[in-house]
Amino acid sequence: MTTLTLYRGIAVKTGTEAKIENTIRNCGIEGTEGNLGFKIPDILDVRAHLADLMMDSTLHTDKIFKFTPFNGICACGTPQGAEYYALHHNFSAGMTPLLIEFNVTLDDMYVDCRDFMCPAFQLWDSRGTAGKAKQEKIMVELFGSSVLPYFENATRTKEQSLRIALGNLAAFDAEVVKAHYSNRKIIHGRQNTRFSSAFFVKAPVLASSIKSVTAPRRKNFPDPDVSLDEFQKLGTAGPA
């Protein structure tokens, strides 16, 4: 069973950080903490039906997320990505950032496609189609070659709901997950997010899987290597 290390960046009300850190270390993460919770499907069940779902011309996200019996949390594949969420994206005045490092099995995670992969599937041709080969190269760099069959299917349809569904479906492919986890290029995604890899994780995360809870101290973040806007602009760039 493949076990990977992920990093979760959160911001909590100042004055509560010691209590929350102690709870995480001793009780793990339930997935019901905070104001924003996620419900996710049975990852292995979706993974077992990828081939059939990918060939379904009527595929819609409802077919993937019809049953969502589990709580889920978000996490990154690098400390830097989680630090960005803790120090910027999730941070506001009166809050203290925390960085949680924990282990998770491949069976319990899939790509969080909301901020780059799914919009790329949906809007790849929003500014033209001439740079499709360059866009495919970027998709492979960020998500591995296994993402291409899903992306190719998305480029063959104008139906936006199908494109979105295919982007969500690709997120469950184990080879896509592993390739995205290995990516070290910094992505500038939707809503000004910055990360190299992002995932949904099945909760709860047991206390035995928690490796550390620390205060992130990074002040400066390097410029992104690729942005969603640049990806879309490649539509006018001509063949690679």
Token pair of 31, please? 């997935």
Token pair of 155, please? 């480029």
Please, which residues have CB within 8 angstroms of residue 214's CB and are 6 or more apart in sequence? 98, 99, 101
Q: 173 near 167, Cβ under 8 Å?
A: no
CA separation for the pair 119, 103 (Å, rounded): 28
CA distances, 238 to each of 80, 128, 131, 137, 185 (Å): 33, 9, 5, 13, 23
DSSP 215: -
CA separation for the pair 205, 209 (Å, rounded): 7
Q: 209 near 201, Cβ under 8 Å?
A: no
pTM of this structure: 0.95
Beta bridge partners of 102: 6, 210
Domain that holds residue 210: 3-236
Is residue 225 classed exposed, middle or buried when 0-12, 13-18 and 19+ CB atoms within 10 A define those classes? middle
Beta bridge partners of 126: 128
pLDDT tens series, the chain, 240 aa: 799 999 999 999 999 999 999 999 999 999 988 766 799 999 999 999 999 999 999 999 999 999 999 999 999 999 999 999 999 988 889 999 999 999 999 999 999 999 999 999 999 999 999 999 999 999 999 999 999 999 999 999 999 999 999 999 999 999 999 999 999 999 999 999 999 999 999 999 999 999 999 999 877 888 999 999 999 999 886 544
Among residues 148, 173, 227, the alpha carbon closest in space to that of 195 is found at 227
CA distances, 175 to each of 61, 124, 159, 200 (Å): 20, 22, 26, 15
Question: Quick one: which H or E segment has residue 25?
Answer: helix 17-27
SS3 40: strand
pLDDT for 34: 72
Q: 166 near 130, Cβ under 8 Å?
A: no
Please, which residues have CB within 8 angstroms of residue 79's CB and are 6 or more apart in sequence? 7, 99, 101, 216
How many domains does the structure of the chain reveal? 1
User: Phi and psi dihedrals of 118, rounded to 5?
Assistant: -65, -45
pLDDT for 90: 85
pLDDT for 129: 93
